[in-house]
Amino acid sequence: MRTDGDLQVLLSRADRALGRLDGSIQTLPHPDLFVYMYVRKEAVLSSQIEGTQRSLQDVLAAEAKILAPDRPKDVDEVVNYVRAMNHGLRRLPVSFRLIKEIHAELLHGVRGSHLTPGEVRTSQNWIGAGGCTLNEATFVPPPPHEVAAMLSELERFLHSDSQLPLLVKIGLAHVQFETIHPFLDGNGRVGRLLITFLLCEQDVLQKPVLYLSYYFKRYRQQYYEHLQAVRDQGAWEEWLVFFLRGVIEVSGQATETARQVLQLREAHRHAITEHLGRTAANGYRVLEHLYKHPIISVNDAQELIGMTYQAANDLVSRFVDIGILTEITGQTRNRRFMYQRYINLFHEDEPEAGT
């Protein structure tokens, strides 16, 4: 495949955007704390593409064990996605076996768990409007007896010594996986995870901070049309242009978010220095904790800083007074406080376009 003209220009821009993103993450004082939130944002967006309704705040509340009665029932699917991401990163390189393990993690105990998690399908599936028959489908994946061989061939392609640029290779692999559609459910989520796994496996990114679910959700109709155009017409170049534009756009967004995180942290460290006096050292410890656990209780703060409950309560109250924390339960007991301005930097509810 040639990479001439517009495609070559986009490939160069995408490589530079990824380089800037990787560098910006390395400048953060605690890159893993940024990754913690970014993975959760991706989990929410990727699952929303499949029609679920949970939000980033729902996930954080669930992890903080806040049991709101109106919390979406499908929040566990996002939690599974986070676990699947972490499992995959520990088990790289990408392989046929790892793909099945990731699928098992995604569907464990949630919607679709009856559809043989971790096993390739043994029956025919198809894609189309809700309730359509096989004959009415817009796309019919390969028959089940061919799936295992096709996944093995995809694995060989991923680890071949091809001279293709890496981003081109990943773009081609994503389409191929979605076309094989090897599982009865969860194919889209696995396919999107593969993009990030491959970037990390090849050391293009030191941390898993590029997720195209935002872009695929925003341009959902074009995404599906490009996949189908590859299958129907072999429109690979058009797909790669769309894919590389997504890499450029999302890399830029993530780089800007990292800059805003650093700016917010410095502003709040300054506020703590200015307003907390002798308790500033404990304030810094609580602030750093919030970048991984942005919902906190007074008991959490007490355990973290090793002070009396009253001292921890006073510290949390000062955080509320200077605008770092917001109380979210409206209760007098068992209160929870949220680092709202930080969460807002990762807010996932963007308007969709092109649908």
What gap in Å lies between CA 240 and CA 258, rounded to an integer? 27
- For residue 313, the model assigns a pLDDT of 95
- For residue 77, the model assigns a pLDDT of 81
What gap in Å lies between CA 225 and CA 29, rounded to an integer? 41
Higher-pLDDT residue of 84 and 27 is 84
Higher-pLDDT residue of 320 and 353 is 320
Residue 296 phi, psi dihedral angles, 5° rounding: -140, 150
- For residue 331, the model assigns a pLDDT of 80
- For residue 75, the model assigns a pLDDT of 78
pLDDT tens per residue across span 221-245 = 999 999 999 999 999 999 999 999 9
Higher-pLDDT residue of 266 and 346 is 266
CB 343 within 8 A of CB 296: no
pLDDT tens per residue across span 258-273 = 999 999 999 999 999 9
**What average pLDDT does this structure show over 122-129?**
89
Locate the domains of the chain by residue range. Answer: 5-253, 258-344
CB 94 within 8 A of CB 86: no
Residue 349 has pLDDT above 50, yes or no: no
Higher-pLDDT residue of 15 and 134 is 15
CB 92 within 8 A of CB 197: yes
What gap in Å lies between CA 138 and CA 129, rounded to an integer? 8
For domain 5-253, give its CATH number from 1.20.120.1780, 3.40.190.80, 1.10.3290.10, 1.25.40.10. Answer: 1.10.3290.10
- What is the reported pTM? 0.87
- For residue 354, the model assigns a pLDDT of 39
Q: Which amino acid is at 166?
A: L
Residue 341 has pLDDT above 80, yes or no: yes
Q: What class has domain 258-344?
A: mainly alpha
- For residue 47, the model assigns a pLDDT of 78
**5-253 matches 258-344 in fold:** no
What is the residue-averaged pLDDT of the chain?
88
- For residue 71, the model assigns a pLDDT of 54
